[in-house]
Amino acid sequence: MERKPKYKYDIIICDICEGMGTQSHEEMTCYHKREYDYTYSLCWKCEGSGMLKKKVTIEYEPHKTNIHAVETKPYTPRKF
Protein backbone atom coordinates (compact mmCIF):
# COMPACT_ATOMS: atom_id res chain seq x y z
CA MET A 1 0.00 0.00 0.00
CA GLU A 2 1.47 3.30 -1.12
CA ARG A 3 1.29 6.05 1.49
CA LYS A 4 1.12 9.66 0.44
CA PRO A 5 3.28 12.04 2.48
CA LYS A 6 1.48 14.71 4.47
CA TYR A 7 2.67 18.28 4.49
CA LYS A 8 2.69 20.87 7.24
CA TYR A 9 3.18 24.55 6.47
CA ASP A 10 4.75 27.01 8.90
CA ILE A 11 5.05 30.77 8.39
CA ILE A 12 8.49 32.05 9.40
CA ILE A 13 10.19 35.44 9.28
CA CYS A 14 12.69 35.94 6.46
CA ASP A 15 16.25 35.66 7.75
CA ILE A 16 17.74 37.90 5.03
CA CYS A 17 15.65 41.04 5.61
CA GLU A 18 14.52 40.14 9.17
CA GLY A 19 10.83 40.61 8.31
CA MET A 20 11.15 44.10 6.80
CA GLY A 21 10.73 43.08 3.16
CA THR A 22 13.48 45.43 1.99
CA GLN A 23 17.24 45.51 2.14
CA SER A 24 19.27 48.67 2.57
CA HIS A 25 22.68 49.25 1.03
CA GLU A 26 25.14 52.02 1.85
CA GLU A 27 26.88 53.79 -1.01
CA MET A 28 29.52 56.39 -0.43
CA THR A 29 28.67 59.57 -2.36
CA CYS A 30 31.55 61.77 -1.28
CA TYR A 31 34.83 60.30 -0.14
CA HIS A 32 36.22 63.53 1.33
CA LYS A 33 33.13 64.43 3.39
CA ARG A 34 32.36 60.76 4.19
CA GLU A 35 28.79 61.10 3.04
CA TYR A 36 26.72 57.99 2.48
CA ASP A 37 23.54 57.45 0.55
CA TYR A 38 21.16 54.59 1.34
CA THR A 39 19.39 52.64 -1.36
CA TYR A 40 16.55 50.25 -0.63
CA SER A 41 15.60 47.23 -2.69
CA LEU A 42 13.10 44.41 -2.31
CA CYS A 43 14.36 41.29 -0.61
CA TRP A 44 15.16 38.57 -3.14
CA LYS A 45 14.21 35.69 -0.87
CA CYS A 46 10.75 36.73 0.37
CA GLU A 47 9.96 39.06 -2.57
CA GLY A 48 9.03 41.94 -0.29
CA SER A 49 6.54 40.20 2.03
CA GLY A 50 8.94 39.67 4.96
CA MET A 51 7.63 36.16 5.55
CA LEU A 52 8.40 32.72 4.14
CA LYS A 53 6.34 29.55 3.96
CA LYS A 54 8.22 26.55 5.33
CA LYS A 55 7.00 23.20 3.98
CA VAL A 56 7.61 20.23 6.25
CA THR A 57 7.03 16.70 4.96
CA ILE A 58 5.57 14.24 7.44
CA GLU A 59 5.92 10.57 6.59
CA TYR A 60 4.80 7.62 8.66
CA GLU A 61 6.43 4.22 8.33
CA PRO A 62 5.45 1.03 10.09
CA HIS A 63 7.71 0.06 12.95
CA LYS A 64 8.77 -3.55 12.63
CA THR A 65 10.06 -5.24 15.72
CA ASN A 66 11.50 -8.66 16.24
CA ILE A 67 9.77 -9.96 19.31
CA HIS A 68 11.40 -13.03 20.74
CA ALA A 69 10.16 -15.09 23.64
CA VAL A 70 12.42 -14.39 26.57
CA GLU A 71 12.68 -16.84 29.44
CA THR A 72 12.07 -15.20 32.75
CA LYS A 73 12.93 -16.65 36.10
CA PRO A 74 10.35 -16.45 38.84
CA TYR A 75 11.01 -13.87 41.51
CA THR A 76 12.54 -15.24 44.67
CA PRO A 77 13.07 -12.91 47.60
CA ARG A 78 16.56 -12.69 49.01
CA LYS A 79 17.23 -14.24 52.34
CA PHE A 80 19.26 -12.28 54.84
Domain limits of the chain?
A: 20-58
Q: Residue 73 to residues 29, 68, 76, 80: CA-CA distances in angstroms?
A: 87, 16, 9, 20
Count of residues making up the chain: 80
Q: Residue 43 to residues 7, 15, 25, 63, 79: CA-CA distances in angstroms?
A: 26, 10, 12, 44, 77
Residue 8: closest CA among 58, 42, 48:
58
User: Which pLDDT tens digit goes with each residue over 35-68?
Assistant: 989 898 999 999 889 999 999 888 777 777 666 6
Amino acid in the structure at residue 52: L
Is residue 13 scored above 90 in pLDDT? Answer: yes
